Homo-oligomer: A and B are copies of this chain.
Amino acid sequence: MLPLEGIKVVDLTRVLSGPYCTMILADFGAEVIKVEMPKTGDDSRAYGPYVNGESAYYMSINRNKKSITVDTKNPEGIALVKQLIEKADVVVENFKPGTMEKLGMGYEDLKKINPELIYAACSGFGHTGPYSKRPAYDAVVQAMGGIMSITGPGEGQYTRVGASIGDITAGLFSAIGVMMALYHKEKTGKGQKVDVAMLDCQVAILENAIARYCVNGEIPQPRGNRHASITPFEDFTCKDGVKVMVAIGNNGLWKKFCTAAGHEELIEDERFVANPLRTKNYDQLKPIMDEIFLSKTSDEWYESLVAANVPVTYVNTVDKVVSNEQVLARDMIVEANHEGVGPFKMANTPIKMSETKGGYREAAPLLGENTDDILKNYLQLSDEEIEAVKAKGIL
């Protein structure tokens, strides 16, 4: 039994943040009914790459879900979506705030037809505040929320994170919010609204950058691949020109590193005996470290530091990631095989549970693939009623 078996989720989300949230719920057994516009569907069905005409982007993030097409620009379509929501435990949407209200499906409206409903809204800026009704995408919240200003090769060289961390962290926080609300409902019978803003999530993941600014008044800047408060914690070029990343997070590891490198003299060096000193004296330590790493090849360093239990790795490109022995041993890459689309690979869930093993079960649906099934089995409409709905031209 999966933890969310029996939980019904009406999924009005598109593209990435909301769909990432409902993917997690689906991975752990929730029945996720994705409502898509007829003909076009989720915007991300138009994003590449494509496998036999289907978007691999879409398919990566919508596994284990069902798709029904309903025209929500039509009042009859909205009435049908409301019927779905009436029977649901959770509704998730990532429209611009105000959109659901305009459709007559704001939380206050839906609470009337389903008082115990959990309503999760994942938006760019949240349902309150002066920017609330503005549209947002990942790049905007990454830029506005500060992570770009601390990522990059050096001062002022602000760089977007190459994955859509603005969407994905909002999807993760939304999933946590839904789980908190489900747990609360299980204990009290009460539903509620969960309001997650992508911008807020960017602020929440800034780590120690806020503290650094507020304590020192110093505006954090990109520092290349270096950590702001931990040293040494970056990549170094080896004799063969290949870089390895090492992360020496405490004084025990510093001793192990110095020993493995054959530079025991550094252990006693007063400039470097503790992390705050190594960080403070970075400019003195950096050239020493650079020279040390140039003395051996990357393979030699990798092997000797792994043996010494010092955190180390090559900088892997995606081809290396999907074939990495640890990634494969953890069942992190799954191959979906949808009839008529063909096989393609995606990341599996990283939440490994001993009693309730979640993750990939079936491929993402084609547009409207489950429309009939949902009308019949979820809404329990008769054949005549289904024909009547179809005759309205809203599917």
Q: Are A129 and B330 in contact (CB under 8 A)?
A: yes
- Expressed in whole angstroms, the Cα–Cα distance for A193 and B256 within the complex equals 31
Contact with B along A133-163 (1 / 0, CB 8 A): 0111111111111111111110001111111
Q: Are A200 and B350 in contact (CB under 8 A)?
A: yes
Partner of A203, one of B1, B151, B215, B333: B333
Q: Are B173 and A162 in contact (CB under 8 A)?
A: no
Q: Which residues of B contact A141 (CB under 8 A)?
A: 313
Given contacts A3-B180, A183-B182, A211-B345, contact A317 B48 (CB under 8 A): no
Q: Which of A242-250, A289-297, A374-382 is near enough to bind chain B?
A: A242-250
- Expressed in whole angstroms, the Cα–Cα distance for A47 and B222 within the complex equals 18
Residue of B nearest to A217 (CB): B319
- Expressed in whole angstroms, the Cα–Cα distance for A169 and B153 within the complex equals 22
Q: Which residues of B contact A224 (CB under 8 A)?
A: 159-160
- Expressed in whole angstroms, the Cα–Cα distance for A45 and B35 within the complex equals 48
* Interface flag for A352 (CB, 8 Å): yes
Partner of A245, one of B139, B169, B179: B139
- Expressed in whole angstroms, the Cα–Cα distance for A200 and B312 within the complex equals 17
Q: Are B179 and A24 in contact (CB under 8 A)?
A: no
* Interface flag for A39 (CB, 8 Å): no
Number of copies: 2
Partner of A204, one of B196, B324, B332: B332
- Expressed in whole angstroms, the Cα–Cα distance for A196 and B136 within the complex equals 31
Q: What is the minimal beta-carbon distance from A120 to any residue of chain B, in angstroms?
A: 10
- Expressed in whole angstroms, the Cα–Cα distance for A144 and B244 within the complex equals 10
Q: Are A197 and B350 in contact (CB under 8 A)?
A: yes
Partner of A4, one of B180, B186, B194, B324: B180
Partner of A184, one of B3, B227, B315: B3
Q: Are A330 and B128 in contact (CB under 8 A)?
A: yes
Q: What is the minimal beta-carbon distance from A311 to any residue of chain B, in angstroms?
A: 5
Contact with B along A266-297 (1 / 0, CB 8 A): 00000000111001000000000000000000
Partner of A309, one of B60, B135, B174, B353: B135
Partner of A169, one of B142, B172, B344: B172
Partner of A143, one of B184, B208, B212, B245: B245
Contact with B along A230-250 (1 / 0, CB 8 A): 100111000000010111011
- Expressed in whole angstroms, the Cα–Cα distance for A110 and B8 within the complex equals 34
- Expressed in whole angstroms, the Cα–Cα distance for A200 and B157 within the complex equals 29
Residue of B nearest to A247 (CB): B137
* Interface flag for A386 (CB, 8 Å): no
Q: What is the minimal beta-carbon distance from A36 to any residue of chain B, in angstroms?
A: 14
- Expressed in whole angstroms, the Cα–Cα distance for A175 and B351 within the complex equals 10
7 A-B contact pairs sorted by A residue (CB < 8 Å)? A144-B324, A151-B161, A158-B315, A179-B183, A210-B333, A215-B344, A221-B317
Given contacts A125-B330, A140-B313, A168-B169, 19 further A-B contacts (CB under 8 A): A4-B180, A4-B183, A46-B250, A46-B276, A47-B229, A47-B276, A49-B208, A56-B215, A136-B311, A150-B318, A153-B157, A158-B225, A158-B315, A160-B224, A169-B172, A179-B183, A180-B351, A203-B327, A212-B318
